[in-house]
Structure 1
């Protein structure tokens, strides 16, 4: 391997309270390479002008914009993906993060068919714009377990559908490595954090061994055709920029451990 399998990035939802120029500056100063702009605030769906500004802002800071963090729930056949997809295309993104409904796989029942049908329709719309959709791996959706995520990917069966992964609070080290393997060859991006739960966030340094294993397992999976793969930091202790800088240094160090070509880290670690 001559370069990291995943580029270090930042989800802008980590700092919902900050304006985009500050977020881009933080990411660049920390040595990250990519930013995923969240579409619940920083990048409103349908706002082409803002999308172009964010794309230029990122580029001015040496960052790429490979993904857009949408909140399309994909469980309503009447849901219109066009504003979201159009903004993502203006952003220069390749992948649009989406959600597989709003209920867990153990209680979705008949709603699963609606998710499958809606995802297929949205995938067609995305493919027509040169985009792919990336399923959030999240509780209270149809992708809350590796088995349900793999099943949904198989049922939709569309080349414009890939997957994200993030740790679940109840997973063991070995189990989470197996989860990543089960999502191959659909695994595109990672959300990186270390916490007991959303309200009890911990330094990424305390999860170094866990993430070393996860990143090695993810790097071993074949990459889908979804643009550059990224490991995005998502949420930090106290929404604090200093905590973010510390986590970014750890992430870059972990990614460098998987590669011969190193990512320069201006803040050490």
Structure 2
């Protein structure tokens, strides 16, 4: 089942109350809460307050967007603390990063370290019924579709899947081909529309997103898949409302 939502990191400068209200007002299903500002790891009372407000608004917690970098030492928070926070939040999944080096830069040993750590945290999360999803992102081992595929094959864990988002600088058809490569490992999607590094209204990119969605949609329609707005032009509420409307229309047209 496709569910729509937004990432709280879209509006780092806004309060939890505001983000919940804006998400509810536009008719999205839920929120991926970011660990950097709104739901910091270990701050359980703060997280419990978020849960209460979400229930009152009729919204779902769709994910916990952590900034855990697999295989990296001396991080601000352990994965165990992140997992405890996600559990308190009632998040079905935790988003992590595949290290802190791109596929061209990482050594074989560093790649093996990232792989082993993701397998470790996937085991821990699975015990609590929480999935682990890897951010598709530059500067990590998921900076290309081939590297991401190689990583997921090496991890070989049923509790690990992949987020997807449009790689900056690629043509639409190249992105479609990338989706085909990683399709067996895909789960959720971050939605935005950029031209190189300029944020644009999502409505201007629907021609591209229709092509992406055709490839991205999971074949098992009983499995939840989240399409989450992440970046908004000029970080404005009005633009967020327009983007949410465009996202909902995109999904509606696909279902028709």
TM-score above 0.5, yes or no? yes
> Which stretches in structure 2 are left out of the alignment for 5+ residues?
none
**Offset, 1:7:** 1.4
Structure 1 match to 2:119: 120
Stretch of structure 1 that moved more, 143-152 or 164-173 = 164-173
Establish whether residue 71 from structure 1 lines up as the match of residue 70 from structure 2.
Answer: no
- The residue correspondences of 1:2-21 to structure 2 (distance < 5 A) are 5-21=1-17
1:69/1:97 contact within 8 Å kept? yes
Structure 1 match to 2:204: 206
Distance in 2 (alpha carbons) for counterparts of 1:235 and 1:170? 16
The match for 1:45 among 29, 41, 45 is: 41
The match for 1:101 among 99, 114, 135 is: 99
Q: How many residues are paired up?
A: 253
Establish whether residue 150 from structure 1 lines up as the match of residue 141 from structure 2.
Answer: no
**Offset, 1:191:** 0.5
Stretch of structure 1 that moved more, 173-182 or 16-25 = 173-182
1:165/1:191 contact within 8 Å kept? yes
Structure 1 residues 76, 67: closer, same or farther in 2, change over 3 A? same
**Offset, 1:47:** 1.9
Distance in 1 (alpha carbons) for counterparts of 2:82 and 2:95? 10
- The residue correspondences of 1:57-68 to structure 2 (distance < 5 A) are 57-68=53-64
Distance in 2 (alpha carbons) for counterparts of 1:220 and 1:36? 20
Runs of 4 or more, structure 1, over 4 Å off, are 220-223
Structure 1 residues 228, 57: closer, same or farther in 2, change over 3 A? farther
2:47/2:89 contact within 8 Å kept? yes
**Offset, 1:90:** 1.0
The match for 1:86 among 84, 87, 94 is: 84
Distance in 1 (alpha carbons) for counterparts of 2:130 and 2:169? 33
Per the normalisation by structure 2, the TM-score is 0.94
Indicate the SS of the match to 2:32.
strand
**Offset, 1:66:** 2.1
Structure 1 match to 2:225: 229
Indicate the SS of the match to 2:141.
coil
Per the normalisation by structure 1, the TM-score is 0.89
Distance in 1 (alpha carbons) for counterparts of 2:218 and 2:125? 27
Distance in 1 (alpha carbons) for counterparts of 2:14 and 2:110? 36
Structure 2 match to 1:187: 186
Deviations along 1:174-226, one digit per CA (max 9) or x if unpaired, are: 2222222222232111000111245x211111101001111121115457x9x
Distance in 2 (alpha carbons) for counterparts of 1:78 and 1:114? 14
Deviations along 1:49-106, one digit per CA (max 9) or x if unpaired, are: 2222212212221211121000000123676311101111111111100000111001
1:35/1:65 contact within 8 Å kept? yes
Distance in 1 (alpha carbons) for counterparts of 2:112 and 2:80? 21
Larger proportion of helix: 2
- Between the two structures, name the one with larger relative contact order (CA 8 Å, sep ≥ 6): 1
2:169/2:196 contact within 8 Å kept? no
1:181/1:221 contact within 8 Å kept? no
Structure 2 match to 1:254: 250
